Amino acid sequence: MTTLPNTQGAPVDDHHAHDADGAHAHDAHGEHAKYKFLQHHFETPAHQFDSAKLGMWLFLATEVLFFGGLFVAYAVLRARFPEVFTYSSHYLNTLMGGVNTCVLILSSITMALAVRFAQTNKKNAMLICLVLTFMGAVGFMVIKYFEYSHKIHENLVWGKSFYVPPESEEGQAERMILEKPLPSAPAALLVVNPATDAVPTLVTTPVVEASAIKAASSAPKGLATARQEAKAEHLPVAEHDLALAHPTLHLADPKMPANSHMFFAIYYCMTGLHGIHVLAGMVMLGWLIWRGARGDFNSNYFTPVDVGGLYWHIVDLIWIFLFPLFYLIH
Amino acid sequence: MAHSNTPTLSHTRGDDSAHQHTHPLVGHLVPIWLFMAVGGTLLMLTVITVAVRYIDVGEFNIVIALGVAAIKATLVALFFMHLRWDRPFNLLVFLASIVFVILMMSFCMMDTAQYRSQQFVGNAPDVESTLQSNAPGAPVARFKPYTP
């Protein structure tokens, strides 16, 4: 690590020495007198700024490792249950995830602009950019709220609750399927057609056999292969994913692989932790807006805006990795 | 003498007010067009990533997705987070954290691959009991194919 040059040439622990040559003491004290923000344990504003930046980067390193542990958990789970990830990712709305990604990227742009405007003394522009960044964060959380509430409503949650049919009307239909004795061939599949005001209609459709879905312990070929096999046997297959068309019937879906709840476990862990970081970022941005409106930041002292921006960019960076891992599984 | 934070303009080019812009006391000023260019590239890469998801290249899908994500992350780190012009030690700290995550992931994946044959098959006890009470036979498909 490079050390900053001691421009005064005086001993660093002797800033307030009142020797015969008053020039040393005056120079050493002069910087602190000139800049109110300069704390006593830093020699120059550049020293203080560099230290603040380094401190923030060390914290960001811990954040990378914080999420790194969860990324490792994701990797282990996905190596263990690839078919679970391929199947369950269809319950996630790629459009909402993509919009969230663009919202965060735009908020990163406005945050970087806010730092620049702080550096060039443009207080109003800086405040506008900080407020826009804050609104990006709010938009992200609103979209996340819609995603989560929809999933929780359908009982697409972690753990054993995944296997409890939800209390909605569709859930009751599921419960009817699961509790009554199964007919022999031809099999019946209860389908909820959204086009007809959610009135369930019985559709007699031959479905893929259980053994066509590979067990979790062996090497699975995934949902696409199951569909290809069904096509090869001239069985009618839904044009788009059954899960996407009828998202409430994950329990009655014969294509659902075992241990599908694991996907939602890691999904909520990672995106939830990221959401908490976005909330913390909103608090941080609110603090920066308040201090900025008070007039604390200018071209001499913009460090809080700069290091706050670093945190916000890390939040964006983590989402950049989360998005393809959850929403773009083929 | 001055006990305030308010800076004086350190650079004025004559009386041309259009040319006056304040230089920060510390750090480095990034031009606005560069922010816009990097931001636009990031948005384009996002669109590309989503588009590639609908093309089937088999094993390479995740490689491409993570590769594009890595490029986006590099752009954000270098330009938005200022590492391009910052002290190299900050970049070293950031890269070191990534190296350690990769180290952690490598060992865990080696473990997973090594002990794959000894992994438990089936559900956890809580999940199993819930399945028995709520969804007997689920989630493995229970229906048999139609045989005329």
Interval B87-115: pLDDT, tens: 999 999 999 999 999 999 999 999 999 98
Q: How far is residue A250's CA from residue A164's CA, in Å, rounded to a whole number?
A: 10
Q: Which domain holds residue A323?
A: 46-159+262-327
| Closest Cα in chain B, distance from residue A65 (Å) | 6
Q: Taking the model in full, what pTM does it have?
A: 0.74
- A201 three-class SS: strand
Query: Are A48 and B81 a contacting pair, CB within 8 Å?
Result: no
Residue A151 lies in a domain: yes
B61 band by pLDDT with thresholds 50, 70 and 90: confident
- B120 three-class SS: coil
In the predicted structure, residue B121 carries a pLDDT above the cut 90: no
Q: Which of B7, B39, B89 sits opposite A1 (nearest CB)?
A: B89
Tokens of A84: 């679970």
Q: Which of A34, A75, A186 sits opposite B105 (nearest CB)?
A: A75
The rounded mean pLDDT for chain A is 77
The rounded mean pLDDT for chain B is 78
Chain B residue nearest residue A259, CA to CA: B123
Kindly state whether A258 is in contact with chain B, defined as any CB-CB distance less than 8 angstroms: yes
265-294 in chain A: CB under 8 A from chain B = none
Query: Are A171 and A248 a contacting pair, CB within 8 Å?
Result: yes
Give per-residue pLDDT as tens, A270-292.
999 999 999 999 999 999 999 99
Sort out which chain A residues have CB atoms less than 8 A from B80's CB and list them.
108-109, 111-112, 309, 313, 316
User: Residue A317 belongs to a domain with what CATH number?
Assistant: 1.20.120.80
Domain spans of chain B, in order of start: 29-85, 87-116
Per-residue pLDDT averaged across A33-55, rounded?
93
What is the number of domains present in chain A? 1
- Across the interface, whether the CB atoms of B139 and A53 are under 8 A apart is answered no
- B31 three-class SS: coil
Identify any residues that bridge with A203 across adjacent strands, giving them in sequence order: A189
The verdict on ipTM greater than 0.90 is no
Contacts (Cβ under 8 Å, ≥6 apart) of B105:
A68, A71, A72, A75
Q: How far is residue A170's CA from residue A192's CA, in Å, rounded to a whole number?
A: 7
Residue A266 lies in a domain: yes
B43-48 LR contacts (CB < 8 Å, sep 24+): B43/A102, B43/A105, B43/A106, B45/B71, B45/B72, B46/A98, B46/A101, B46/A102, B46/A105, B46/A323, B46/B72
Query: Are A307 and A291 a contacting pair, CB within 8 Å?
Result: no
B121, burial (CB in 10 Å: exposed 0-12, middle 13-18, buried 19+): exposed
Crossing angle of helices A261-294 and A303-327, rounded to 10°: 160
- Across the interface, whether the CB atoms of B56 and A105 are under 8 A apart is answered no
Sort out which chain B residues have CB atoms less than 8 A from A159's CB and list them.
126-127
In the predicted structure, residue A321 carries a pLDDT above the cut 60: yes
In the predicted structure, residue A14 carries a pLDDT above the cut 60: no
Amino acid at B33: W
Q: How far is CA A115 from CA A16, A51, A66, A73, A193, in A?
A: 35, 18, 26, 35, 52
Task: With CA atoms as reference, report the closest residue to A205 among A191, A220, A187.
Answer: A187
Q: How far is residue A79's CA from residue A262's CA, in Å, rounded to a whole number?
A: 12
Query: Are A115 and A306 a contacting pair, CB within 8 Å?
Result: yes
In the predicted structure, residue A10 carries a pLDDT above the cut 60: no
Sort out which chain A residues have CB atoms less than 8 A from B79's CB and list them.
112
Q: How far is residue B119's CA from residue A219's CA, in Å, rounded to a whole number?
A: 13
Tokens of A328: 């773009």
A294, burial (CB in 10 Å: exposed 0-12, middle 13-18, buried 19+): exposed
> Tokens 């969230």 belong to which residue?
A100
- A191 three-class SS: strand
Radius of gyration of chain B from its Cα atoms, rounded to whole angstroms: 28
pLDDT score for A250:
76
Q: How far is residue A84's CA from residue A86's CA, in Å, rounded to a whole number?
A: 6
Radius of gyration of chain A from its Cα atoms, rounded to whole angstroms: 29
A209, burial (CB in 10 Å: exposed 0-12, middle 13-18, buried 19+): buried
Per-residue pLDDT averaged across A72-97, rounded?
91
| Closest Cα in chain A, distance from residue B41 (Å) | 10
Angle of CA points A300, A303, A309, to nearest 5°: 135
Contacts (Cβ under 8 Å, ≥6 apart) of A237:
A227, A230, A231
pLDDT score for A222:
39
> Tokens 């319950």 belong to which residue?
A91
Per-residue pLDDT averaged across A24-48, rounded?
82
Strand runs (DSSP E) across A128-271, as ranges? 188-192, 200-204
Q: Which of A69-78, A122-131, A153-162, A260-269 has the lowest mean pLDDT?
A: A153-162
Task: Report residue A254 CA to chain centroid gap.
Answer: 31
Query: Are A160 and B126 a contacting pair, CB within 8 Å?
Result: yes
pLDDT score for A52:
96
In the predicted structure, residue A323 carries a pLDDT above the cut 60: yes
Query: Are A2 and B87 a contacting pair, CB within 8 Å?
Result: yes
- Across the interface, whether the CB atoms of A313 and B77 are under 8 A apart is answered yes
> Tokens 């994913």 belong to which residue?
A241
Sort out which chain B residues have CB atoms less than 8 A from A172's CB and list them.
none
Residue A54 lies in a domain: yes
Give per-residue pLDDT as tens, A204-229.
433 333 333 333 333 333 344 444 44
Q: How far is CA A7 from CA A3, A31, A35, A46, A267, in A?
A: 12, 11, 17, 12, 53
Kindly state whether A306 is in contact with chain B, defined as any CB-CB distance less than 8 angstroms: yes
| Closest Cα in chain A, distance from residue B60 (Å) | 10
A239 band by pLDDT with thresholds 50, 70 and 90: very low
Give per-residue pLDDT as tens, B122-147.
677 787 777 777 655 454 433 223 33
pLDDT score for B52:
87
97-136 in chain B: CB under 8 A from chain A = 97-98, 100-101, 104-105, 108-109, 112-113, 116, 119, 121-124, 126-127, 129-131, 134-136
Task: With CA atoms as reference, report the closest residue to A275 among A243, A305, A238, A315.
Answer: A315
Give per-residue pLDDT as tens, B47-57.
999 988 888 77
